[in-house]
A and B are shown apart, each in its own frame.
Chain A
């Protein structure tokens, strides 16, 4: 039961990264792919109707995490207090930058909104990557199950680390490249014209960079947490995950060279999914490792809520999930088809 909810939370987080990942990525390359006002409106329009629904996966995953693993929620949210507050400010800034820019007709106001939107879209993937890096590296959990991480200490991933060290910064940078590529491939699929050409170029560059970066991250993870391969040694079936990662990277390279836009985006979805699944597989049954005393690591059973809560949620969760899937299908179908420049922002 506990493992099942671990899977569901993982699925929701993957959905968040794959879906909001592309609109974050589109935001991160916003000014480089859109040069004229019409082109930038086109870029915004590619994510306009869907970014908010995509972001809800983060809130919904947070809610499910809260109910299923309250100990983990309490520990990690208070322990990562400072970076989380900054993530909140960035999420607020990004949403307002995107949604408010068109409401005044004032050119300077719109420029300020664009800057806020792009800067927060660049920083958020770095924060999310660094967050994953922190989870893999571990945090100094105390006897009560709490911790508090300073933003940085000596930038080394030792037993008393900060949020930022060389390893988590590396994870942040890889995350930015991966999501920018993901966004570029999405944009290429959604729009035509000049923006399509530029997005395709960014996607091609990303597809070339990612294999090397993935290898570096893997080596760094092994250095920081030597036990990371234990689950793979004990359960060789897990080796399928790196195999699929490799295949998806190869497919991304091939598809971007040949201009197969949908295939390239599908490869990127597969890559992000399997990278996250690979990390979860390596950590399980630990949810949040301790950096100094393995006995204090938070495992799924230690962090879980009572049995009744989990059983009763098994009734409503699938219903909600089917409804969400149906709404998303409807939403994406309504706004399907290639977009062309010169139709404004699409608001009525």
Chain B
């Protein structure tokens, strides 16, 4: 592989992965803050207001990091992927421009009001500002997912005489069925992160029981988080995860085969639970599999034949089968654990034992980082699965880079971002730890 191509791919992968650590929490927390503020307004109970205010503090820190690490994403389409921008700018420029005009303004203006305005505004107006920030964040997510969905499953375009693609239907671009399911699945993933974070935070204060740790507000966090988490975890498995998988099976069959580690086409294909792909020998080592389940999940028939990697020419298969296989299995495995843990927590909550069940509270605290891994693995599944295409079936990734930006110059800024983001990560952890340590005070 040409080394400039490797640098440009790493450049985008690194900055995008780091960036998405923050929006997944803010998009997940925003609706929970709105819910808590509604409860506070309706009940007049200070525990909800205290819980909402603490979440808002954490939200604000994450939002800032999300904004600053998001700016390079829009720039990189032009800086590192200029041939892709020439080719596809006429289509995806549309969704990116709409994101800027509709979502960014909504978010940033109302964030100012939300963070600075509590004393200047009535409680209702402040709730409205919180809701606007939530709407802006989720709208922003839609435009980004619609952009990615077009790269996964291009629709609504024609090819112009100069070889570039031109938009011929905005509604097709915005209502791309891939975008709809991918959006629901992505937002569900963000909710999982936000809800696990909220539940884990409440559990942490209940375990800690420091002098300022109001157990009533901690309980509000815990309960809201657990209820949201159980719903979101189920939503990730069915219907959204299932439908997303069906789209991949239908439109990207080579990707599905690589995700599942299915090297040879066969009827009654098994579902591989664990095992290491051995690409040279074309098999899964140490595999633990359930017979025929992959056939059923893909075609709803136990004996149906599922196409394996052997049916696809080498240059149309994902170029990193092992990483794709692991990303997908990590995501699904963690997703299943999430649903199991949250069903347990909901049962305990139902029976009134959750607030005192220390092992369960510990599990909720320790589970907080896991949704980040699952969300990252999910995006890796989508984007590594799209390879070797940049726009599926239309443009190869190798054809999209900036021709005049050398590997050396690309590496310069990649290393720069790595250094800068290391500092950011330290600052982030320090700030979050301090706010959490302070608690509701």
Binding site for B on A (CB under 8 A): 48-50, 52-53, 55-56, 59-64, 66-68, 70-71, 73-79, 81-82, 84-85, 88-89, 91-93, 95-96, 99-100, 103-105, 142, 144-148, 305-306, 308-309, 312-313, 316-317, 320-321, 323-324, 327-328, 330-331, 334-335, 346-348
Contact = CB atoms under 8 A, between A and B. Distances in A.
A103 B432 CA distance: 9
A242 B160 CA distance: 41
B83 A59 contact: no
A320 B139 CA distance: 13
B105 A53 contact: yes
Contacts of B89: 66-67, 70-71, 73-74, 305
B110 interface: yes
Contact of B100 (A56, A78, A84, A105): A56
Interface string B401-436: 011111001001100100010001001001100110
B327 interface: no
B102 interface: yes
B101 A60 contact: yes
Contact of B170 (A77, A82, A85, A312): A312
Given A59-B104, A308-B166, A334-B113, A88 B404 contact: no
Interface of B: 53, 60-61, 64-65, 67-69, 71-72, 74-75, 77-80, 82-83, 85-86, 88-91, 93-94, 96-102, 104-106, 108-113, 115-121, 160, 164, 166-168, 170, 402-406, 409, 412-413, 416, 420, 424, 427, 430-431, 434-435
A151 B144 CA distance: 32
A222 to B, nearest CB: 30
Nearest to A89: B420
Nearest to B53: A348
A93 B90 CA distance: 32
Given A59-B104, A60-B104, A324-B101, A95 B79 contact: no
Nearest to B121: A334
Nearest to B56: A348
Contact of B112 (A59, A146, A331): A331
Contacts of B116: 48-49, 335, 346-348
A66 B79 CA distance: 12
B101 A321 contact: yes
Contacts of B119: 348
Given A63-B97, A74-B85, A85-B413, A100 B64 contact: yes
Contact of B404 (A66, A70, A78): A78
Contact of B167 (A93, A306, A335): A306
Contacts of A313: 94, 97
A104 B432 CA distance: 10
A92 B69 contact: yes
Nearest to A55: B108
Nearest to A68: B93
Q: Closest 6 A-B residue pairs measured CB to CB?
A: A70-B89, A77-B78, A67-B93, A306-B166, A60-B100, A63-B100
B431 A103 contact: yes
A146 B404 contact: yes
Contacts of B96: 63, 66-67
Contact of B405 (A52, A104, A148, A328): A148
* Of listed B75, B88, B113, B118, residue having the most chain A CB within 10 A: B75
Nearest to B64: A99
A146 B413 contact: no
Contacts of A327: 105-106, 109-110
A95 B113 contact: no
Nearest to A88: B72
A155 B60 CA distance: 43
A81 to B, nearest CB: 5
Nearest to B77: A66
Given A78-B79, A305-B166, A317 B93 contact: no
Contacts of A308: 166-168
B97 A91 contact: no
28 contacts: A53-B108, A53-B112, A59-B100, A59-B104, A60-B101, A62-B74, A63-B97, A67-B89, A67-B97, A71-B89, A73-B93, A74-B82, A76-B78, A79-B404, A82-B409, A82-B413, A100-B64, A145-B86, A146-B82, A308-B167, A309-B167, A316-B102, A320-B105, A327-B106, A331-B112, A335-B116, A348-B53, A348-B115
B98 to A, nearest CB: 6
Contact of B109 (A309, A317, A328): A328
Given A48-B116, A84-B75, A334-B120, 13 more contacts: A60-B101, A66-B93, A70-B88, A70-B93, A78-B78, A81-B79, A91-B68, A104-B434, A148-B405, A306-B167, A316-B98, A347-B115, A348-B116
